Structure 1
Amino acid sequence: MERWKESQLKQLAASAELEIAYGVSLSFAKNMGFEFFAFSTSYTSKTDDFNTVRLNNYPSDWNSAYEKKKLAAIDPIVAHCHQSAMPIVWSEELFSGARCLWDGLEQQGLQHGWSQAIHDEESGLCSILSLVRSHCPISAWELYEHLGFSSFIGHHLHKLAVRSLPTRPATPSNPQLSLREIDVLKLAADGKTAYESAGILNLSPRTINFHVQEAIRKFGVSNKISAVIAAAKAGYLDRNAIG
């Protein structure tokens, strides 16, 4: 391993403050050839408001527009990372359903990037790490070469982010789910999409998503994967489970 990598990773591991650790991570990202580095963690507050801890060095006007227009709701990177821990490379095709977002990224020099998620089974939280630059597409080899480093960085930042979040009152270990919510989560656990689940249960995809969101709210988690995990732990996904 190159000396600067070892030195900065040791510095990162010794960082106990999120902002300091982010600064070290940003320096590491720049040394790897990325101009921009972003990290975020989504959580639900004591008042059940959905919030995000967001650290990045993106242009300030881009951050302002992203917040003001609530672009996270249509961001395919956010959608992917909340469903999967697999890394994803940004592309025009990926953003085909959110063209305005892709055009904005290009204008800001943020079009060449890749992201990966950290899913925390214990807390039910999801963090997203992104490495971005204005030049040169990212190759599969480059992604593979840097994946170990980004995973280490992401997990350390996630740990510090979770520590920094406001504490929530303990939620009941077994919230009461409806039979329909259990059915939907069982299908999600089997890998079914909202569209596939809708066909099986003779419901609309919108109704399926409503039941998923209700389960997420009841378990006090931030995404579908965490709700499925929580339901499994609570015994709701057993063959003979009754809501």
Structure 2
Amino acid sequence: MTVLSVNLNKIAVLRNSRGEDEPDIGRACDCVVAAGAGGVTVHPRPDQRHVRPDDVRALAARIARRVEFNIEGNAFAPARGSYPGLIALVREVRPEQVTLVPDGDAQITSDHGFDLDADTASLRPLIAELRALGARVSLFVDAGTTALGRAADIGADRVEIYTGPYAKAFAAGDVDEELERCVATAEAARTAGLGVNAGHDLNQANLGRLVDAIPFLAEVSIGHALIGEALYDGLAATVQNYLRILRSRSPAG
């Protein structure tokens, strides 16, 4: 079955809006793990707008290998204040997976994948260092990217397909073209020997169609929609709703 990794960034956004300790990101972590999620995702940024380095450390200790811990981030972003840099943080907490994303402070959220023509030379040593720390490495790529042999050549283990455009097309009722782009990238990744993850703007309405089209999808990382839906239905119930969708589809291979 495709693994559901729950992104807890939005819990930290709510907490930070008051400058205090609630809602408790650790308690949220315990809840999603108990509900059956196979992973927990965080995306610490140098500006510390949501998940902070101390959150990452505390969650790593709390998860304690019960499920996979996935840290997303920009390894090119330098240390700033109490943010030690992505690789330094990975060296401390040793997550199972690191998802490299080319984001910056000016982006509200991740909105594009790597340009593998331009970025392979600079990514190669970073990937080697992360793998030496015991992490599986996934690269965030745009749907429609098919020249993925170079991602395998520089040591990546997986790609994560950016599904924002797919989600927008699904909401507009004209999804076929964007879905085909996701499938083309997934097939190219599989041909290159890479695993396939997906994430961004996935929700209960659009997830099933994507997994039907890519039955070998290894993992989906879902945060914004899941936390929003949980406001109405509860966090544990919402995680279980997603798991029912994934269980009803073909198992990942």
State the TM-score, normalizing by the size of structure 2.
0.27
- Of Structure 1 and Structure 2, which has the larger fraction of its residues in helix? 1
**Normalising by the residue count of structure 1, what TM-score does the alignment of the two structures yield?**
0.28
User: Could you say which structure has the larger radius of gyration?
Assistant: 1
